[in-house]
Structure 1
Amino acid sequence: MDVSIISPVFNEKDNLEPFIKQVSNALNKETWEWELILIDDGSDDGSFDLLQKLSKSQKNLRIISLSKNFGQTSAIQAGFDNALGKYLVTLDSDLQNDPKDIPNLLHKLISENLDLVVGWRKDRKDNFLFRNLPSYIANKLIGAITGVKLNDYGCSLKAYNANILREVKLYGEMHRFIPAWMATKVSANKIDQLVVDHHPRIAGESKYGISRTFRVFLDLISVYFFMRFFSRPGHFFGFLGLLMTFVGVAILSYLIFIKFVYSLDIGDRPLLIAGTIFTVVGVQFISLGVIGEILSRTYYASSKEKSYLIKWDSKN
């Protein structure tokens, strides 16, 4: 299989038939052998029944139904785990992403030997205040923290090198951070973007809201930690611990100095409590870093996960 198109479905019954038709029209013009994998994420509007019916007449269509609504990230991961293609493409099934852009992303991915091409909805057809503005701020923040600067992290339309992507496992709501995750395995110059079309939603209800913006910021903390310190947690917690311990010891040293040199009473000073807390918490952070290092080494020793990725081996 050359290409696997992966799209999660949650209550998109009215969009499914035109979506499948548009994907077929876009891919049938190419020479690739392809499959369209639709992952029903616990829909309750009859989407699954319709997909079962459509799969009987669509030879390229494959349906995966999850037992309940696990969320977009889990649905996408289910598609990744079951895809057969050498190249993978993700997009939403709500017809806001245009399937006509799929070949453009794939041609760029293949011709420029990239590992990921991200769609950029430059002319986005969404509410500016509740969707576009928070997305703009989030994109800038994610780019600054992860070092992978893209204009549209939230665009679901992406094309991937499957060999690289299979080294990345998604959890929680991390699908929007796939470029950052991939940057832990490949150089950032193997990731690029391409302007794609975007359409207003014409059927169904949007699954996105302003609350997702806050979840993005919370997820970003986890992404930052895993990108920088997953294989060396002791550096993260150890730095915080040493800093707090230094502050605590400095405060206590000052109090001891004025106690013995100037015979001042320090028992009722807030600085005594602050110094003690800083010192104790600092030691705890250092201990946590040591435990983290042990867990990290145990994880790599007991699993197939590696802290590196081999791109090419002369023996193979």
Structure 2
Amino acid sequence: MPSLLTMQAPCTESSEENVHHTLSLVIPLYNEEGNVLALVDAVQAALQDSPWPWQLILVDDGSHDGTRRRLQEVTARFPGQICAVLLRRNFGQTAAMQAGIDMASGSIIVTMDGDLQNNPQDIPRMVKRLLDEDLDLLAGWRQNRQDHVWLRKVPSWIANCLIARVTGIRLHDYGCSLKVFRASVIKGVRLYGEMHRFIPTWLATRTAAERIREEPVSHFPRLHGKSKYGLSRTIRVVLDLIAMSFFMRFRARPGHFFGWIGLLCGLSGTAAMIYLAYLKIVCAEQIGNRPLLVLGAILLLTGVQFICTGIVTEMLMRTYYEASDSRIYVIQKILGGPADGAPAKAGLAEERNVP
């Protein structure tokens, strides 16, 4: 199997325009032993006539079944084109996806789930549309979902409604992992928590909304393994949604968020104190036993605390923007090396333990 750099694109009408593009397919895996071999075969079949050189990056997110053994088999079968990244423990789908994106060397990055519910045959069509329409993100839209209604459809519907309501980015299916990105855009976004659902929203802070579109895709029932989704994930999505909403509006100016709260509390406390001072000095009333005195003092102190918190967050944000790149995952081992035939670029050997 040729490497990413050496595999030549077939001669087609679109080859001349897109010949300089390469694909990196990123697939996180967690306890998917029964799907690995079929998944690789499906990707090979879907991309065998691809006009773009491609690589496949499989990220094992701390599986405790036979997934890693299967990954050793497929990296041995397709040396140079399939790279398996083994994380030291289960960090979550978002961290696994980030690890694969960091490893990707293609100019176009494709992400999808490893449960065989996404169809790799949709990838060439989506990549072509992304390039033809000059988009930065093309998200999959599962129009005929094959999931259990209450177990996955309901939480997904709730999450989609909440995300669209809070962020203002209107997509039908935020939860579909089959997405196609321009690497230059997605690599500028750092993912954490359950943030893989919010990728379109994060990208909207770095590119125009009209460069984000969706595409109807196929969806199949799960044949092997167990679903990792449920109602509990909706709660985590809500918490991440609150954090994401804050970062979208105040990422570069968090002091404004805390400052407004602090000023509101401070002004309210000041007004209460001025009123009490008027009663004490002008009206000669006793104010020591008034609840308003306690409330005014609390509001003043709260206002000072929020303003100080805003100053601290401004300092932290400056440190964040100036700090070196940080990781939310730990790689234990990499099998097969980068699929672009340039392991030195990533500082990786053919098979290497990573501390």
Provide TM-score, normalisation by structure 1.
0.91
Secondary structure in 2 matching 1:240? helix
Give the superposition deviation at 1:72: 0.9
**1:16 and 2:28 correspond:** no
Give the superposition deviation at 1:126: 2.0
Report the Cα distance in structure 2 between the residues aligned to 1:98 and 1:56, rounded to whole angstroms: 24
Secondary structure in 2 matching 1:7? strand
Q: What is the correspondence of 1:151-166 to structure 2 with a 5 Å cutoff?
A: 151-166=172-187
Residue aligning to 2:237: 216
Alpha carbons of 1:44 and 1:266: their partners in 2 closer, same or farther (altered >3 Å)? same
2:286 to 243, 261, 265: 265
Report the Cα distance in structure 1 between the residues aligned to 2:288 and 2:41, rounded to whole angstroms: 78
Alpha carbons of 1:223 and 1:266: their partners in 2 closer, same or farther (altered >3 Å)? same
Alpha carbons of 1:130 and 1:272: their partners in 2 closer, same or farther (altered >3 Å)? farther
Contact 2:158-2:234 within 8 A present in 1 as well? no
Q: What is the correspondence of 1:121-136 to structure 2 with a 5 Å cutoff?
A: 121-136=142-157
1:233-260 Cα deviation digits (max 9, x unpaired)? 1111111111111222222223333334
1:111-131 Cα deviation digits (max 9, x unpaired)? 111111111112222233342
Residue aligning to 1:313: none
Secondary structure in 1 matching 2:198? helix
Alpha carbons of 1:263 and 1:234: their partners in 2 closer, same or farther (altered >3 Å)? same
Contact 1:140-1:149 within 8 A present in 2 as well? no
1:166-223 Cα deviation digits (max 9, x unpaired)? 1111123321111121112111111111111112211101111211100001111111
Residue aligning to 2:316: 295
Contact 1:22-1:99 within 8 A present in 2 as well? yes
Give ranges in structure 2 of 5+ residues lacking alignment: 5-21, 327-355
Q: What is the correspondence of 1:193-272 to structure 2 with a 5 Å cutoff?
A: 193-272=214-293
Secondary structure in 1 matching 2:34? helix
- The aligned amino acid for 1:38 is L
- The aligned amino acid for 1:33 is P
Report the Cα distance in structure 1 between the residues aligned to 2:101 and 2:64, rounded to whole angstroms: 23
Residue aligning to 1:176: 197
Provide TM-score, normalisation by structure 2.
0.81
Contact 2:258-2:307 within 8 A present in 1 as well? yes
1:186 to 188, 207, 221: 207
Please tell me the root mean square deviation across aligned C-alpha atoms, in Å.
Answer: 1.8
Residue aligning to 1:308: none
**1:44 and 2:70 correspond:** no
Residue aligning to 1:94: 115
Contact 2:272-2:292 within 8 A present in 1 as well? yes
1:123-150 Cα deviation digits (max 9, x unpaired)? 2222333422232222122123223221
1:5-47 Cα deviation digits (max 9, x unpaired)? 1101111011111111111111113221111111111111111
Q: Aligned residues, how many? A: 305
Residue aligning to 1:311: none
Give ranges in structure 1 of 5+ residues lacking alignment: 306-316
Report the Cα distance in structure 2 between the residues aligned to 1:120 and 1:192, rounded to whole angstroms: 10
Contact 1:121-1:195 within 8 A present in 2 as well? yes
Give the superposition deviation at 1:303: 4.5
Secondary structure in 2 matching 1:218? helix
Alpha carbons of 1:301 and 1:73: their partners in 2 closer, same or farther (altered >3 Å)? closer
Report the Cα distance in structure 1 between the residues aligned to 2:149 and 2:268, rounded to whole angstroms: 45
State the identity %: 49
Report the Cα distance in structure 1 between the residues aligned to 2:31 and 2:151, rounded to whole angstroms: 22
Residue aligning to 2:53: 33
Contact 1:42-1:69 within 8 A present in 2 as well? yes
Secondary structure in 1 matching 2:109? strand
- The aligned amino acid for 2:238 is F
